[in-house]
A and B are shown apart, each in its own frame.
Chain A
Amino acid sequence: MPGKLKAKIVAGRHLPVMDRASDLTDAFVEVKFGNTTFKTDVYPKSLNPQWNSEWFKFEVDDEDLQDEPLQITVLDHDTYSANDSIGKVYIDIDPLLCSEAATVISGWLPIYDTIHGIRGEINVLVKVDLFNDLNRFRQSSCGVKFFCTTSVPRCYRAVLVHGFVEELVVNEDPEYQWIDRIRTPRASNEARQRLIFLMSGELQRKIGLKVLEMGGNAVVGYLQCFDLEGESGLVVRAIGTACTLEKISTFPATATHPSNSSPSKDMKDSPQAAPSTLGCRSTHSSPVHSASSRLSQGFSVSVPTLLFAGMKPRHRSSEAPRARQCRPGFGEEAPGVPLSSGPPTPLRAQTFSSFSPSKSYSRQSSSSDTELSLTPKTVGIFQCPSTPALDSESSPLPSVHLPCHLRPVMSSRSTTPPLLHISQSDTAMLRKSVSFSEELMLAASGMGSGGSVGKEAGPLKALLRQQTQSALEQREYPFFTLTAFPPGFLLHVGGVVSARSVKLLDRIHNPALGNTRSYKLLDWNSFAADEPETRDAWWEEIRQEIKSHAKALGCHAVVGYSESTSICEEVCILSASGTAAILSSRFMQDGPPDTEHRLSRQPLCVFSTGSERVEGDMGSSASLGFEEVVSPGCGFCHIPYDELNIPFPAQLTYCYCCRRYKVPDVLFTTIDLPNEANVTGKGCLIQARLCRTKKKAQGEGNATAISSLLPFLEYELHTQLMNKLKLRSMNALFGLRIQISVGETMLLGIASATGVYLTALPSPGGIQIAGKTPSDITYEQHISTMQKKINDTIAKNKELHDINPPEVVEEIIGSPIPEPRQRSRLFRSHSESSDEVSELDLSHGKKDAFVLEIDDTDAVEDIHALLTDSPTPAGFYSCNTEIMPGIQNWTSAIQMFTSVRVFRLNANLTNQGLNKIFSDLCENLLKSLYFKLRSMVPCCLCHLNFTVAIPEDELIQVAVTAVAMSFDKEQPLENGKQSGEKTLIKAVTENDEQLQFNLELNAETSSSNPRSSPKGLSEVGSHLSARASSLEKASPLPEGRSRSLRSDRSYSGSSVAVVKMTPLSFIPGAKIIKYLGIINMFFIRETSSLREEGGVSGFLHTFIAEVFAMVRAHVAALGGNAVVSYSMKECVFMENPNKNQAQCLINVSGDAVIFVRESELDSTLVQTQSATTHPSNGGEGT
């Protein structure tokens, strides 16, 4: 349905000289949307033209509004020859389509040319009048909000979390079209940029439709990626989590007012238009909640029954997935309620001890050299060995994982030449192509003490999860791209699950027939490229596998889910990973979280007064709620799987916090550390890096070679991670991200995560080195010196990260703890082996020391590698999660940066040599970062995101994006070492995110940070004033900005609004008051005068700076002053130094926001309002 897009071209500045004779330019502008083009007059002989055009109006479908960008081209008029293009600006209209986001785009935007970079700026005004579309069959999804942020956005509340949405669109890559041979590089680049813009728009629209269909109003954790498949095309795909969000109106004054009165609110049709657009959606969702809240209540009552019922739930779990449904049908869950009613009270106690739902991946520490300590992804591996033992007892498990080995086999059979899906996953790989792997696994499982645990029969299942499980299992993919959750949503974490698959790109031509999706051919795409179904099918396979892995871990959901690809020539590795978890049903069917919250709070008191009484009270309150609150700091660590049917060897102990439930010895996850988690000391970045050579091969052979290498790569990465974790005396990894990159002659793997010491988990033992030839004395000495080194490092690391031995905690707290422990042991005694008891006592002793055997050079290398990781310099911390556990008092000083390095290797390196080089490369990069940012000390590099690529043979490219945040040392909040105390603090904080900022605020004011206080205000102020003047006068050097200047000196021209950028979802010391829309930009830059532009480094440096500048300018034009959840998704760099050429593609995304400094929240309110009235008047005038 129709919308009216209006654009006005105001002025230009700093234009390049296009006419050599006069040193001036005769510029005019073409404004294009869809197939309609308008032109301004030529403004002769000026580098700062003032067009001040009329309003160009485009009457278009909202579908087009979503798909198409507004394209503005600045040209130089030439009477005699063709007009020269100066550059282009693409404007994404999407933020204007959502009533809650931006209302106008107005400001100076860089004019960009793919050959020359930024060439001046243009001042434009863009508005949209959108008419309401109530047509049910519409193809547009205007109004659905998109967020890159992987948590619930700061000024919203999640009412419902609907689940996974995904979509992909495919097209031919203009770079590989025949016409490209006769086209200029500029034309090709522009065709590509435009196409990707179109495809992103289309993708977003389609995802939006799915969200509307599910009843949601927003996509959180929106992750969009490109696969440049070369000859075979271009794939744009996206995943996200559909949610129903509700704006929090706790700050009615600040939150709503600025947004309503924001600069040009008046431009929007009328205030009424906005609510009505949303109207249908919100009413839609409200009945849902009320119904669902009733449901969950019913469920919670039923919990004990399930226990009683024994195996019943399990059957359900295995069957449910088969009946796949896209949407959770709430009605269908109803039958589940009666099923699980009838509470035999006596059994309840047992419930506690045995079904403790915690999920965690655990690893076998005392196993031998073949330690298969892999995480989720390897879950498959562990499962296999344990299957035989379990068969008789637990039918569900085998059935769950059966598909994963069957499938690969089948696929290899059906496609006689075993190429296409050579490896569905490493599990498959191990089984299929690596013949000895099976023995390996069996050996491992045999040796592991965990194996024995697994053998103990006694099928007691975690029951709680059943209720949500049923809801979740009816979904096709119970996946969530979120990495942080509203309190109480995440119940238990099982461990990382991942799957990879190697595909051949040139085999995709088979046209899939059943075309269920409406696939719109893009305008210039003459004939059908790949059918999107092919790609869909690939991902579907992988997602199924992930799902089955999660199930094997006893989990019904996957959180922190992400997908990625690596392409080299015609081979493509698809990867997906996430964290198996159990979620509370609250946000899925349940309405008002507040009520639930209140409910769940009560048990807390009950618990603290006396645990025995809990049993009595439990029936009435949601057991889920109970559990979360019992132990907000440790609940998520409790294993979700049945301890007696552990899917892989693991060492379980009782939780060190609550002493009630079992926890694994190590936990790996892809999510952020939950806010409420109890952590001892600080965390640190842990990185495993690996490089493996590979023979050059073509097509199938290549794919086979890669798939046979993959499992080893992953195995070694995990070994490294585990070793490094132990070396730092930590027991959990968060934000784990494993990237495998494929090149012609090698494979690169990099795994990054933030290691922490979870108070709930047992203390990791040390690392013990053992040799196999004890006879040799010198060898012994060698080993002992090495052992000493390692012990020293561990001790140093403990100190560095403030890891205090948890034993202290135990002694101090003393009395309350043994009690539940004894009790639970009492109840459990029948099923407990003596083995476990001893484990419990010795868990922090030397007994579970991690043994490394050095029987060959490989192992020696490994150990050396372990020790070469240099510690971070004093005052620095680093992590790849949002924030560093143990640091709270952030100041407002943040510095986002991107660093890229390309390293050329010598030919003929051995694996060890390669490894060392790669590892050094990463280490040196980190060292450089620390050095660069030394002025910010004490500071923490957060969200360190490493991306590796192999742009060509013998080249390794590493790109890092992160943010450095200063913190105040003076108030070490984490001094309250006692976990109990901390829990209390956190329990309070948890609910009230503001508190965190309040604390920070104090820190900020006390520290003599000269920028902190006046800045936020003046930023807003200067921005608004700049905006005001641009609206009013649009003179290239707006006046009136001087009043916002911070310095005494007069800077006549500082009209540029400061825009902060951060990969995190928040800005320390500030409150995000409005989300303005998603920023998703794709740029290509090419040069044929590489040397003149300062070589490759100069070229890329300029380009990245330009990308930042364009992001900032677009955010400022939307009225924002920051980008959060910023990420650089793609940085493809190609060079041809012989031809003096280079090309680079960059894709970035983030959320544009308006933030206000906490300190000025109140004062700004008045100012902002007064300031905004001004520009809006101006806006009306124009």
Chain B
Amino acid sequence: MSVELDVFVGNTTIMDKEVYQLWLNGYTVNDAVKVRIEGGVMEECEASAEVLLSDTMDQYRTFQMCERLLHHPAKLANQLLFQIPPDRQAMLIERYYAFDDSFVREVLGKKLSKGTKKDLDDVSIKTGIMLKSCRRQFDNFKRVFKVVEELKGPLVENIRQHFLLPDPLARDYAAIVFFANNRFETGKKKLQYLTFQDFAFCAGQLINNWTVGAVDNMMEDMDVDLDKEFLQDLKDLKILITDKDLLDQHKSLVCTALRGKTNVFNEMEANFKNLSRGLVNIAAKLINAKDVRDFFIDLVEKFIEPCRSDKLTSIDVNLYLTHYTNSAHILDTFKHHTVWTRYMGVIKSCILRMYHD
């Protein structure tokens, strides 16, 4: 005796959020039933394990049927097969495209290729996220990447429109796409202390300020690549460290402004040339793709670590960077104000974001 066939189809497709989450998390039907039993639905609704199994299987089947539509969320609203209220559709999409920070941290900046996908079982073991869920998340990244890669216009907006994602999630995806496209190194040990949200914030800064779209209001190019012209111009900043006079002048201006305002003044003064060289060198090298990849590690090595060893607080760093940036404008011989502002604005907010334990 066995149930051969068991289906339930509602005119409005019934989807249980809890089961959906279990499905997204990669649970098998049986495991999901166990979790549900532990969750106490049975007592609540006077149901039996059998009923729960039947319901779970049915829901899983529905999700599988929907999955193909979720790959192109715009289709979900246009299709006729499932009648799903808009708020439900939004929920389905949002949860389907949601990801685990610990997972994304592992693949952030990696090439979204088959090779990386093969390594997902390691990621799964490391993060404790089920392989199935890892694959879904990875495929989502890849899908979004592929669609957005060639599109013109603002990245976040493109993602939001094509995948109908809520704003914060669209921004996160923009960050992921941006990182994957520029292959930023994020896996080094020194960067381990940074969370995905740190990187996402930085990505947002870079996208908003350093890409073509940032200045050109979505004209020709797109948002995924850094503005080549700007990177070229950054080389001009080298004058700040190569010109001895300028460097000294800059230092004295900053020190004058800082004196008395912080109790780590001495350390700052001592380290000024070192730090300035670090930041300007990063700028000058960004024209090379390889150095772009190392952007974050450079920031940590060349600036954050020295500051940290001098026990600067983030307030100190903020103060220092503010004056460091502003003072450059007062320098007589320094002409590259626009580039400097564009560069330092991003650097400052990134460093401040990254300056934590």
What residues make up the interface of A, taking CB atoms closer than 8 Å to B?
Answer: 13-14, 108, 110, 118, 121, 873-874, 895-906, 917, 924, 927-934, 955, 957, 1011, 1036-1037, 1045-1047, 1049-1056, 1058-1061, 1094, 1096-1098, 1100-1102, 1104-1106, 1108-1110, 1112-1113, 1133
Contact = CB atoms under 8 A, between A and B. Distances in A.
Given A902-B3, A932-B14, A1051 B86 contact: yes
Q: Which of B1, B12, B44, B78 has the most CB of A within 10 A?
A: B78
Interface bin, chain B:
35 or more
Contacts of B57: 1097
Contacts of B64: 1094, 1098
The 5 closest A-B pairs by CB, nearest first: A1054-B77, A1053-B77, A902-B5, A897-B10, A896-B11
Nearest to A955: B4
Given A931-B45, A931-B52, A896 B1 contact: no
Contacts of A895: 10-12, 14
A535 to B, nearest CB: 32
A1055 B7 CA distance: 28
Given A1036-B78, A1101-B62, 14 more contacts: A895-B12, A899-B8, A899-B9, A902-B6, A903-B1, A904-B4, A928-B55, A933-B14, A1053-B78, A1056-B77, A1058-B83, A1059-B83, A1108-B11, A1113-B80
Nearest to A957: B5
A930 B5 contact: no
B51 A928 contact: yes
B9 A898 contact: yes
A964 to B, nearest CB: 9
Nearest to A118: B81
Contacts of A1109: 80-83
A1056 B79 contact: yes
B164 interface: yes
Contacts of B75: 14, 1053
B89 to A, nearest CB: 7
Contacts of B2: 903-904
B5 A1060 contact: no
A1097 B7 contact: yes
Contacts of B44: 934
Interface string B33-63: 0000000000011111011101101100110
A910 to B, nearest CB: 14
B166 interface: yes
B10 A896 contact: yes
7 contacts: A110-B80, A895-B10, A904-B4, A917-B1, A1046-B86, A1051-B90, A1061-B11
Given A924-B50, A1101-B65, A13 B8 contact: no
Contacts, number: 168
Contacts of A904: 1-4
A903 B4 CA distance: 5
Nearest to B78: A1053
A1015 B220 CA distance: 42
A1179 to B, nearest CB: 22
A1058 B89 CA distance: 13
B61 A1098 contact: yes
A873 B45 contact: yes
Contacts of B86: 1045-1047, 1051, 1054
Contacts of A1100: 5, 7
B161 interface: yes
A891 to B, nearest CB: 14
A1096 B4 contact: yes
Contact of B78 (A13, A929, A1108): A13
Contacts of A1050: 161, 164
Given A927-B51, A932-B14, A1108-B11, A1052 B5 contact: no
The CB with the most chain A CB atoms within 10 A, among B5, B9, B45, B76, is that of B5
B74 interface: yes
Chain A interface SS verdict (over half): mixed
B212 to A, nearest CB: 25
Contacts of A1049: 90, 164, 166
B55 A1054 contact: no
B77 A1051 contact: yes
Name the residue among A121, A904, A1046, A1097 with the largest chain B CB count within 10 angstroms: A1097
A451 B50 CA distance: 49
Given A895-B11, A901-B5, A1096-B5, A934 B161 contact: no
B357 interface: no
A268 B61 CA distance: 45
Nearest to B6: A901
Nearest to B65: A1102
A873 B46 contact: yes
A533 to B, nearest CB: 39
Interface in B65-96: 65, 74-83, 85-87, 89-90
Nearest to B14: A932
Given A121-B80, A1054-B77, A1113-B80, A901 B51 contact: no
Interface string B266-289: 000000000000000000000000
B78 A1055 contact: yes
Given A901-B6, A1045-B86, A932 B166 contact: no
A1097 B6 contact: yes
Contacts of A900: 5-7
B50 to A, nearest CB: 6
B86 to A, nearest CB: 5
Contacts of A1058: 83, 85
A924 B85 CA distance: 29
A1097 B61 contact: yes
A932 B47 CA distance: 10
Contacts of A13: 78
A536 to B, nearest CB: 36
A1106 B13 CA distance: 12
A903 B6 CA distance: 9
A900 B46 CA distance: 22
Nearest to B64: A1094
A1059 B85 CA distance: 11
Give the interface centre of B9, B65, B82 by most chain A CB atoms within 10 Å.
B9
A928 B8 contact: yes
Residue among A897, A1037, A1045, A1053 with most chain B CB within 10 A: A1053
A1104 B7 contact: yes
Contacts of A14: 75, 78-79
A14 B75 CA distance: 9
Contacts of B58: 932, 1101
B61 A1105 contact: no
